[in-house]
């Protein structure tokens, strides 16, 4: 198992999480 995580993959995952949070907040507001 590789412990190294692809930085591009990590950034992509982060962007997806932030996008989901933003959409939820926009729906609430």
Q: Where are the domains of the chain?
A: 1-29
pLDDT confidence bin for 6, thresholds 50/70/90 = confident
Phi-psi region of 13 (alpha: psi -120 to 50; beta: other; left: phi over 0): alpha
As given in the structure block, the two tokens for residue 7 are 């930085």
What is the value of pTM for the model shown?
Answer: 0.58
CA distance 1 to 15: 25
Q: What is the pLDDT of residue 9?
A: 92
Mean pLDDT of 2-15: 85
Tokens of 5: 């995580």
pLDDT-based confidence at residue 26 (cuts at 50, 70, 90): very high
């Amino acid at each position: 198992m590789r412990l190294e995580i692809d930085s591009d993959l990590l950034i992509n995952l982060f962007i997806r999480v932030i996008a989901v949070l933003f959409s939820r907040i926009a729906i609430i507001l």
